[in-house]
Amino acid sequence: MQPQIQTISELTGEIKDLIEGNLPEVWVQGEVSNCIKASSGHVYLTLKDEKAQLAAVIWRNAASKFRFDLHDGLQVVANGSVEVYAPRGSYQLIIRQLIPHGVGALELAFRQMHAKLAAEGLFESHRKRPIPLFPHRIALITSPTSAAVRDLIQVITRRWRAADIVVVPVKVQGEGAAAEIAAALRSVHLIPNVDVVICGRGGGSLEDLWAFNEEVVARAIAACQLPVISAVGHEIDVTIADLVADVRALTPSEAGERVVPHQDEVRQALDGLKQRLASGLRDRAATARLKLDNLATRRVLARPFQRVHDEFTRLDELESRLLRAARQRAVTARQKLDLAAASLDALSPLKVLGRGYSITRKTGSREIIHSAEQLAIGDQITTMLGHGEIVSRIEAAPAASEI
């Protein structure tokens, strides 16, 4: 019998119809590997276990809905349909849903975002800014129709009527909510006189609160030019926004309590300060009076010129002592001078000349003649005696004298 011969395309078409017709929807569990995120937004990966592997693809529309970061090594449960790709003769799983195995998708996304922002230091305490003690205007970034905004306004106005409140309306859940919240945080400082921001909403499920776990909201809080109080959900609800904000309030009502003081408490504090100030002033006045009384009894104040008179007397005594010392020093100096003059007179060359000696110089020169060899015929000399001078001329060659 002649066998039926098919083309590759015909056989592949039959395989495609057989597989896709019998496997319109499947659920599989495996480990992600070879995960590639294309620039088009599509994600290509392989799901594998110990014995087999399955090629898979997540089209852009489905991939954009995943909250968590898909990476190699992640254990997942995937839902989708098996399709045959005829040009390559291969089959692959078209993933529509992807659930992390052992942990919910939102919980995994929360953990991944927490780890990422914590590594960047966005949760560090040194980044936290103080809330103003007496805010002038408070901006509420929340849904204008929610019970949370009514609670906030009621608590704030009851506690501190001096503060103005401005509501910045945004969506707080659903598609586009995170983008609206982030935009409001980036522009809230442009509202005149706003000095603190409360951002949040009332309670709800993890999905309802998810906008406050989005990265865009976390970074907008970190970059906000005003201090931010996060008030999301109930006490047990912790969001990424709570961790990045300058202050976390457990509920919107508590945010209202933390953003402004209670006017009665401020009044009581002022009354206490007033009493302390009055008491302090009385104590200081009493102390000053006691010091004044003590000073009044001192002799320097009772007889204020006594010290002046004493100093005048002391000055006169010092003047007398100074004059006596000056006279004594003058007498001593005169005696020393007379003694020195007598010694100099005894050594004076004139005294020597008076005893019969003379001094001879060349006329017109101060050079003293010590030897005949210093003179020549025709030299004129001047001889100084004890009384007067003799001028002579050398007529013969002088000879050295022998003693």
150: number of CA atoms within 13 Å, CB side?
3
Q: What's the angle, vertex CA 85, arms to CA 83 and CA 86, rounded to 5?
A: 125
Say what the pLDDT of residue 403 is.
44
Among 59, 57, 55, 56, residue whose Cα is nearest residue 41: 59
Q: How many Å apart are CA 221 and CA 224, to the nearest integer?
A: 5
In the block, tokens 């109080």 appear at 229
* pLDDT, one tens digit for every residue, the chain (403 residues): 677 888 888 888 888 888 888 888 888 888 888 899 999 989 999 998 888 889 999 998 888 888 778 888 788 888 888 888 888 888 899 998 888 876 666 777 788 888 889 999 999 999 999 999 999 999 999 999 988 899 999 999 999 988 899 999 999 998 899 999 999 999 999 999 999 999 999 988 888 898 999 999 999 999 999 999 999 988 888 899 999 999 999 999 999 999 999 988 888 988 999 999 999 999 999 999 888 888 777 776 667 777 778 888 888 889 889 999 999 999 999 989 888 887 877 676 666 666 667 788 888 887 888 887 888 888 888 888 777 888 888 888 666 555 4
Q: How many Å apart are CA 394 and CA 378, to the nearest integer?
A: 5
> Helices 105-119 & 215-223, crossing angle to 10 degrees?
30
Sketch out the chain's domains with CATH numbers: 8-102 (2.40.50.140), 135-261 (3.40.50.960), 353-393 (no CATH)
In the block, tokens 């020093």 appear at 329
Confirm whether pTM is higher than 0.95: no
Among 223, 252, 237, residue whose Cα is nearest residue 138: 252
Query: What are the residues facing 360 on neighbouring strands?
Result: 383
DSSP one-letter string for 42-104: -EEEEEE-SS-EEEEEE-HHHHTT--SPP-TT-EEEEEEEEEEETTTTEEEEEEEEEEETTS-
